[in-house]
């Protein structure tokens, strides 16, 4: 066996633990019962590797262990009865020697880090080898313990079956750890158990039938585990005192047992996020129920009677929350919902198959704060008396078939924070009284048929800090300059409307914007320079408008900008290459035919510099001048030649020659030769062509020679012919 090298400090720790272990082994021979507790506490201390608040510094022989921090002893026997070290940031493991605290009645160790095995540097110390990140099975020796809390420690392993020995146990809290395995059958032996909680672990298997023997059980919290199977059909008959039954976030299936209605003391019933199916039974005997949560299951069948169970709750005077969303409930909301308790604070029926109208009786929910009815098939109009729900803070009616106009009475909801009406068929104008909702953070009216102008009062609602979405409507007019009052708004979407005019410069005052969508409108003019103030912008969409001018350089310094869409506008000039323009996948500039340059991925033509353009223009002017000059000289020469030819051809030979030339215009020659037609071509040489023509006035036949002055020597040839 390879020898282990230990430092002096590590040797002392090992020596201390070995001494404690030997003393505990011979406890009956050499130790008093009080000494057993002291040594057990020292063993517990030895398993702690980090003590950030130094609460265990008092655990030494300078004072008696009953005065140590977190330790309470009984007056009669001076034995440890309470160990309370909750939320002290202790880092280490639970020593199995804690099981020797035979008088311990309460142990509160929650919210620490008792999940660590022995550090590698102490691996050679035999006394440490028994320390792990699990619950020691030796805790099953604490026969007098009544309250046992180890939640929020990231403990591993499974619940030890030795827990079944704790016959006095009333409270067992093991939530928010990393426990696995199944629920021990032996828990059914704990006849005094009232509270059991092991939520947020990885416990699997089924709910053991032995738990139905715990007639004293008032709280069963097994949320967020991996428990399977079905609920026992007789659960309501065997657990009459059950007040809190929370098993949401598991893999349970089958129906909800009708016997659950016999748990008349139920205050909290949370069955959500499982696979329960079928109809919800009558809950008419649950007079004390305040919290009903059955969301995210497969309950209901899309039939008209699916929601009848809601009427069985109308005799309950304590109901505060009803959550039945994300199921398969069909039919219409029964009118009886208006008789639910006046204490109701949240009503969540979203994402079902509920059809029909919103009952006006919902306006009786005097104290409701949350009303979620979105993602259904609701039709009709919004009842105007919803404006009477003065405590309402969240109203979600989006993605239904609702129509009509948005009632102005919603402006009475002064506590409203979220208003989602998107994805419906609302028409008419946006009611200006919505600006009276002075707490409104999020307003979504998108995907409707709203028309008219955007109320300037709405743009002055400074409480809008999250999202203002008016997209996919038929809004007209300009974007009110009051938009600059939305200084803390995060996202503004007015895309795909009929808005006109220029982008108001006041938009630059909305310095908190991270998303700005204005595409699909008729905005024109330049991108205002004030937009440079939007330094935190991440998404900017100005596509499909009539914007023009050059793309501002300040867009290149927006370090947070990830998506930029300038497509289908009239931008011109050089496309920048820095900042977001280096990302061809995050930048779109299609449909701007006057842009040039940029990265090759944009497939734009190369830009022509101003100096090159100037030279090109000068060359064009020069070429035109040369061509015109040459053409002029050719015509003059042709005319001179015509004069000479007339003398030699048309005049009779005489000793006294008349040197005068007839005044013949170019138009006359053009007409005489039929536009210098090829049919009148009578000869061609190196320097010109000769055409036959008939002068209209005198009907004289003439020959017209047109010189090709672009050839070197043509003018010299003309002079030679003239002399002859």
Is pLDDT above 90 for 596? yes
Task: Tell me which H or E stretch contains 683.
Answer: strand 681-684
Q: Is the pTM of this model over 0.75?
A: yes
Is pLDDT above 80 for 106? yes
The CA distance from 15 to 696, in Å, is: 138
- At 354 the pLDDT is 97
Pick the residue with more confidence: 28 or 102?
Answer: 102
Residue ending a domain, choose from 188, 219, 250: 219
- At 646 the pLDDT is 40
Alpha carbon 356 to its chain centroid, in Å, reads 31
Pick the residue with more confidence: 613 or 36?
Answer: 36
In this structure, the answer to whether residues 158 and 104 fall within a common structural domain is yes
**What count of other Cβ atoms lies within 10 Å of the Cβ of residue 609?**
8
Residue 168 lies in a domain: yes
Count of domains for the chain: 3
In this structure, the answer to whether residues 644 and 591 fall within a common structural domain is no
Q: Which residue has the tokens 């939320």?
A: 87
Percent of the chain with pLDDT over 90: 74
- At 692 the pLDDT is 79
- At 621 the pLDDT is 43
Starting at the edge strand that comes first in sequence, how are the strands of the sheet with 401-402 ordered? 355-357, 377-380, 401-402
**Distances, alpha carbon 719 to alpha carbons 203, 279, 323, 635, 636, in Å:** 116, 116, 109, 15, 13
pLDDT digits (tens, 9 = 90+) for 474-522: 999 999 999 999 999 999 999 999 999 999 999 999 999 999 999 999 9
In this structure, the answer to whether residues 581 and 706 fall within a common structural domain is no
Residue 458 lies in a domain: no
Is pLDDT above 70 for 129? no
Residue ending a domain, choose from 219, 236, 264: 219
CATH classification at residue 716: 3.30.200
In this structure, the answer to whether residues 685 and 553 fall within a common structural domain is no
Residue 152 lies in a domain: yes
Helix 714-723 to helix 610-649 angle (10° resolution) is 20
Is pLDDT above 80 for 18? no
The CA distance from 129 to 96, in Å, is: 11
Helix ranges restricted to H, 201-297: 235-238
Q: In the structure, what pLDDT confidence band is assigned to residue 34 with cuts at 50, 70 and 90?
A: confident
Residue 548 lies in a domain: yes
In this structure, the answer to whether residues 74 and 188 fall within a common structural domain is yes
Residue 718 lies in a domain: yes
pLDDT digits (tens, 9 = 90+) for 604-663: 999 986 544 444 444 444 444 444 454 554 544 444 444 444 433 333 333 333 443 455
What's phi and psi for 148, nearest 5 deg? -140, 110
- At 609 the pLDDT is 67
Question: Per residue in 625-656, is it b (16+ CB within 10 Å) or e — as a string?
Answer: eeeeeeeeebeebbbebbbbbbeeeeeeeeee
Pick the residue with more confidence: 654 or 406?
Answer: 406
Residue 125 lies in a domain: yes
Pick the residue with more confidence: 460 or 121?
Answer: 460
Pick the residue with more confidence: 661 or 440?
Answer: 440
Quote the mean pLDDT of the chain.
85
- At 687 the pLDDT is 55
Is pLDDT above 80 for 392? yes
3-state secondary structure of 645: helix
Mean pLDDT calculated for residue range 227-248? 94
HEC string of 44-91 equals: HHHCEEECCCCHHHHCCCCCCHHHCCCEEECCCCCCEEEEECCCCCCE
| CA-CA-CA-CA dihedral for 33, 37, 40, 46, to nearest 10 | -140
CATH classification at residue 166: 3.80.10.10
Residue 368 lies in a domain: no
Q: CB–CB of 159/134 below 8 Å? A: no
The CA distance from 230 to 212, in Å, is: 14
CA angle 587, 591, 596 (to 5 degrees): 75
- At 336 the pLDDT is 94
Pick the residue with more confidence: 30 or 616?
Answer: 616
- At 141 the pLDDT is 95
Segments forming the whole domain that contains residue 589: 478-607
Is pLDDT above 80 for 24? no
The CA distance from 234 to 556, in Å, is: 69
DSSP class per residue in 690-724 = EEEEE-TTT--EEEEEEE-TTSTTHHHHHHHHHH-
In this structure, the answer to whether residues 95 and 197 fall within a common structural domain is yes
- At 257 the pLDDT is 96
In this structure, the answer to whether residues 108 and 18 fall within a common structural domain is yes
In this structure, the answer to whether residues 586 and 711 fall within a common structural domain is no
pLDDT digits (tens, 9 = 90+) for 47-72: 999 999 999 999 999 999 999 999 99
- At 117 the pLDDT is 55
Residue 213 lies in a domain: yes
The CA distance from 325 to 323, in Å, is: 6
pLDDT digits (tens, 9 = 90+) for 659-709: 434 556 666 776 677 766 666 776 655 456 777 777 766 667 777 776 654
In this structure, the answer to whether residues 45 and 180 fall within a common structural domain is yes
Least confident of 17-26, 136-145, 195-204, 376-385: 17-26
pLDDT digits (tens, 9 = 90+) for 78-100: 999 999 999 999 999 999 999 99
Residue ending a domain, choose from 168, 192, 219: 219
In this structure, the answer to whether residues 634 and 566 fall within a common structural domain is no
Percent of the chain with pLDDT over 70: 80
Starting at the edge strand that comes first in sequence, how are the strands of the sheet with 474-476 ordered? 427-428, 449-453, 474-476
In this structure, the answer to whether residues 96 and 125 fall within a common structural domain is yes
In this structure, the answer to whether residues 15 and 152 fall within a common structural domain is yes
């Amino acid at each position: 066996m390879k020898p282990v090298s230990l430092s002096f400090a590590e040797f002392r720790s090992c020596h201390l633990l070995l001494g404690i272990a030997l003393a505990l082994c011979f406890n009956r021979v050499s130790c008093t019962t009080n000494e057993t507790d002291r040594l057990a506490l020292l063993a517990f201390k030895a398993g702690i590797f980090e003590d950030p608040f130094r609460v265990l510094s008092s655990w030494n022989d300078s004072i008696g262990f009953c005065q140590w921090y977190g330790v309470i002893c009984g007056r009669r026997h001076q034995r440890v009865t309470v160990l309370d070290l909750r939320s002290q940031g202790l880092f280490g493991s639970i020593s199995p020697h804690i099981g020797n605290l035979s008088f311990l009645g309460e142990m509160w160790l929650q919210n620490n880090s008792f999940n660590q095995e022995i550090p590698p540097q102490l691996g050679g110390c035999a006394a440490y080898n028994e320390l792990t990140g699990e619950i020691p099975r030796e805790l099953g020796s604490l026969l007098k313990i009544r309250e046992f809390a180890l939640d929020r420690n990231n403990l591993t392993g499974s619940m030890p079956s030795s827990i079944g020995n704790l016959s006095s146990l009333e409270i067992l809290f093991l939530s928010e750890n990393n426990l696995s395995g199944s629920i021990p059958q032996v828990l059914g032996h704990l006849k005094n158990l009232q509270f059991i909680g092991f939520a947020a672990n990885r416990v699997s298997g089924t709910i053991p039938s032995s738990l139905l023997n715990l007639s004293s059980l008032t709280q069963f919290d097994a949320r967020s585990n991996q428990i399977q199977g079905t609920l026992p059909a007789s659960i309501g008959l065997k657990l009459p005192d059950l007040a809190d039954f929370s098993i949401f976030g598991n893999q349970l299936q089958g129906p909800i047992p009708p016997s659950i209605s016999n748990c008349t003391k139920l205050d909290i019933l949370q069955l959500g996020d499982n696979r329960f199916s079928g109809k919800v039974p009558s809950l008419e005997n649950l007079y004390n129920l305040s919290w009903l949560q059955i969301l995210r299951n497969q309950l209901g069948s899309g039939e008209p009677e699916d929601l009848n169970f809601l009427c069985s709750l109308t005799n309950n005077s304590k109901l505060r929350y009803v959550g039945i969303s994300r199921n398969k409930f069909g039919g219409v909301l029964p009118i009886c919902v208006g008789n639910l308790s006046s204490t109701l604070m949240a009503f969540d029926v979203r994402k079902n198959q509920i059809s029909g109208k919103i009952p006006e009786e919902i306006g009786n929910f005097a104290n409701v704060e949350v009303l979620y009815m979105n993602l259904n098939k609701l039709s009709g109009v919004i009842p105007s008396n919803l404006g009477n729900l003065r405590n309402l803070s969240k109203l979600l009616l989006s993605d239904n078939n609702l129509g009509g106009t948005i009632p102005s009475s919603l402006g009475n909801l002064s506590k409203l924070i979220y208003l989602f009406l998107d994805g419906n068929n609302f028409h008419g104008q946006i009611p200006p009284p919505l600006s009276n909702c002075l707490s409104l953070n999020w307003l979504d009216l998108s995907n409707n048929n709203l028309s008219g102008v955007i109320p300037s009062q709405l743009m002055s609602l400074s409480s809008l800090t999250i999202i203002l979405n008016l997209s996919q409507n038929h809004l007209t007019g300009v974007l009110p300059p009051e938009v600059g009052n939305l200084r803390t708004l995060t996202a503004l979407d007015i895309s795909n409307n009929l808005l006109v005019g220029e982008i108001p410069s006041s938009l630059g005052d909305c310095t908190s914007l991270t998303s700005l969508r204005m595409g699909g409108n008729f905005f024109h003019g330049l991108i205002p320079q004030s937009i440079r103030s939007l330094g935190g912008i991440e998404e900017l969409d100005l596509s499909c408008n009539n914007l023009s001018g050059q793309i501002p350089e300040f867009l290149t310094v927006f370090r947070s900008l990830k998506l930029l869409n300038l497509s289908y506008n009239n931008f011109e000039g050089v496309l920048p290459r820095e900042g977001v323009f280096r990302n061809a996948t995050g930048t779109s500039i299609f449909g701007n035919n006057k842009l040039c340059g940029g990265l090759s991925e944009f497939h734009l033509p190369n830009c022509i510099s101003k100096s090159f353009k100037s030279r090109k223009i000068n060359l064009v002017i020069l070429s035109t001048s040369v061509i015109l000059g040459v053409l002029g000289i050719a015509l003059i020469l042709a005319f001179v030649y015509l004069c000479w030819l007339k003398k030699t051809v048309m005049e009779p030979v005489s000793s006294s020659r008349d040197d005068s030339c007839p005044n013949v215009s170019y138009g006359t020659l053009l007409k005489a030769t039929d536009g210098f037609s090829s049919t009148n071509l009578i000869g061609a040489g190196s320097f010109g062509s000769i055409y036959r023509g008939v002068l209209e006035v005198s009907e004289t036949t003439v020959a017209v020679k047109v010189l090709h002055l672009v050839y070197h020597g043509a003018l010299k040839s003309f002079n030679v012919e003239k002399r002859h």
